[in-house]
C-alpha cells in the first residue's frame, strides 16, 4: 500500500477512498473474472480491480446491465470483456469465461460473487425456493471455481468467494442462505488445501451491509436501514469501495501467502447476535409478535 491515511496518491474520488491508497499497478498484468459483476458489491470489486490495473471480465444474467457496467469499467482505463451467463448453467459460465480469456488473456483472479436472497420462513418456503438459492450461491460458486481451474492453474491464481455471516451466525428466515453460504465456506477451505499444490489460493470475503446494493434494499426493505446501522458495531454501512479494496488486497500480490482464510469486512456485524433484526423482520414480514 502507498500513501498516508487521509490522502490518496492517485485517482482518489473522495477523502475516504481506500482504493486510492492502493498502488495503481497492484494488479497490473492480471485478468479478473467476476460473477455477478454487473452491479452492487461485485461491480464495486470490479472497479477496484480496474483502478489497480487489472483487465476485468464480468458476467451476470442481464446483458444490458453488463454493457452499462462495462462502460463504467472502461472509463476507469481497464480492458473489459463481458458475456451474459447464469452461474447455475456451467456450460454458459464456461463460455463466458473462455470468451473473457480469449479477449483479455488467461484468468488469474476469479471472484464468485453472484448470489440470490430473500427472507422466507423455513417451514413455508417451497423446495424450489430453497434449491434456487443453493443453486445460485453454492453451485454457482463451485461452477466458477471449476470453470476457472485450468486458467488459475496456469497463472497460479486466486479465487475469492463472496460469502455472508449467515454461513456461521444462525439467522431466522435465512435457512436457505445459511446452508448455501456455509457450503461455500467449506468449499473455499477444501479448495485451498486441494489446489494449493497448483499455487492456487482460495479465500472468502464476508461483507456486512453495503450501501446502494440490491442485497441491502432486499434485506433492509421491510425494516428500514436505521436498525441495521445501529446493529453494526461501527454504526454504518460499508461503501462498495471498502469491500473492493480488501478484495484487491486479498486477490493480488499483497495476499500471496493468504489461503483458506475467511476475511470479515463487516464493521463487526458478525460479532453481534441476529435476534433484534430477526425480530423486526418477523414482525414486518410475517406478523410475528
Maximal C-alpha separation, the chain: 56
Neighbouring residues of 181: CB distance < 8 A, sequence distance ≥ 6: 137, 138, 163, 164, 166, 167
Q: Is 20 in the site for ligand COA (CB under 6 A)?
A: no
Cα–Cα distance for residue pair 82/69, rounded to 1 Å: 9
Neighbouring residues of 114: CB distance < 8 A, sequence distance ≥ 6: 35, 36, 42, 60, 87, 136, 137, 140, 144
Task: Closer to ligand COA by CB, 136 or 145: give it.
Answer: 136
Give me the torsion for CA of 42, 186, 198, 250, rounded to 10°: 40
Enclosing H/E stretch for 111? strand 109-112
Total of residues contacting ligand COA (CB under 6 A): 15
* Catalytic member of 23, 108, 158, 163: 163
Residue (of 262, 258, 252) closest to 50 by Cα position: 252
- Between 203 and 242, how does the x/- string for binding to ligand COA read (CB under 6 A)? -----------xx--x------------------------
Cα–Cα distance for residue pair 160/262, rounded to 1 Å: 10
Q: Is 27 exposed, middle or buried (0-12, 13-18, 19+ CB in 10 A)?
A: buried
Task: Closer to ligand COA by CB, 30 or 117: give it.
Answer: 117
Q: Return the bridge partners of 33, or none.
A: 57, 110
- Between 101 and 140, how does the x/- string for binding to ligand COA read (CB under 6 A)? --------------xxxx-x----xx-xx--xx--x----
Closest residue by beta carbon to ligand COA: 116
At closest approach, how far in Å is the CB of 90 from ligand COA?
16
At closest approach, how far in Å is the CB of 212 from ligand COA?
13
At closest approach, how far in Å is the CB of 140 from ligand COA?
11
Task: Closer to ligand COA by CB, 140 or 255: give it.
Answer: 140
* Catalytic member of 23, 96, 165, 181: 181
Q: What are the φ/ψ torsions at residue 2 (nearest 5 degrees)?
A: -125, 165
Give me the torsion for CA of 132, 120, 38, 213, rounded to 10°: -170
Mark whether 163 is an active-site residue.
yes
Residues 24-63 that bind ligand COA (CB under 6 A): none
Task: Closer to ligand COA by CB, 156 or 218: give it.
Answer: 218
At closest approach, how far in Å is the CB of 69 from ligand COA?
15
At closest approach, how far in Å is the CB of 135 from ligand COA?
8
Task: Closer to ligand COA by CB, 101 or 247: give it.
Answer: 247
Place of cell 430473500: 118
Mark whether 230 is an active-site residue.
no
At closest approach, how far in Å is the CB of 39 from ligand COA?
9
Neighbouring residues of 16: CB distance < 8 A, sequence distance ≥ 6: 239
Task: Closer to ligand COA by CB, 118 or 168: give it.
Answer: 118
Judged by the rule CB under 6 A, the positions of this chain that interact with ligand COA are 115-118, 120, 125-126, 128-129, 132-133, 136, 214-215, 218
Catalytic site positions: 163, 181
Amino acid at each position: 500500500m502507498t500513501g498516508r491515511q487521509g490522502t490518496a496518491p492517485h485517482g482518489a474520488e473522495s477523502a475516504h477512498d481506500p482504493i486510492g491508497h492502493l498502488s495503481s499497478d497492484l494488479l497490473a498484468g492480471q485478468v479478473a473474472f467476476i460473477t455477478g459483476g454487473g452491479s452492487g458489491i461485485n461491480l464495486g470489486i470490479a472497479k477496484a480491480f480496474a483502478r489497480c490495473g487489472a483487465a476485468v471480465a464480468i458476467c451476470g444474467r442481464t446483458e444490458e446491465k453488463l454493457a452499462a457496467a462495462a462502460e463504467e469499467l472502461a472509463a476507469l482505463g481497464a480492458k473489459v470483456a463481458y458475456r451474459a451467463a447464469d452461474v447455475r448453467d456451467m456450460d454458459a459460465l464456461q463460455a463466458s469465461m473462455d470468451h473473457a480469456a480469449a479477449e483479455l488473456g488467461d484468468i488469474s483472479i476469479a471472484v464468485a460473487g453472484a448470489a440470490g436472497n430473500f427472507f422466507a420462513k423455513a417451514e413455508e418456503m417451497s423446495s424450489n425456493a430453497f434449491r434456487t438459492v443453493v443453486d445460485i450461491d453454492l453451485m454457482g460458486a463451485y461452477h466458477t471455481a471449476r470453470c476457472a481451474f485450468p486458467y488459475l492453474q496456469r497463472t497460479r491464481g486466486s479465487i475469492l468467494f463472496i460469502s455472508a455471516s449467515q454461513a456461521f451466525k444462525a439467522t431466522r428466515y435465512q435457512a436457505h442462505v445459511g446452508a448455501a453460504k456455509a457450503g461455500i465456506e467449506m468449499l473455499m477451505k477444501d479448495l485451498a488445501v486441494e489446489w494449493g499444490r497448483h499455487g492456487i489460493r482460495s479465500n472468502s470475503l464476508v461483507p456486512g451491509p453495503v450501501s446502494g446494493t440490491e442485497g441491502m434494499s432486499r434485506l433492509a426493505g421491510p425494516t428500514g436501514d436505521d436498525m441495521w446501522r445501529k446493529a453494526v458495531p461501527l454504526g454504518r454501512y460499508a461503501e462498495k469501495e471498502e469491500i473492493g479494496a480488501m478484495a484487491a488486497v486479498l486477490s493480488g500480490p499483497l495476499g500471496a501467502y493468504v489461503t483458506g482464510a475467511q476475511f470479515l469486512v463487516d464493521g463487526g456485524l458478525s460479532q453481534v447476535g441476529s435476534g433484534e433484526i430477526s425480530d423486526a423482520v418477523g414482525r414486518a414480514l410475517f406478523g410475528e409478535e
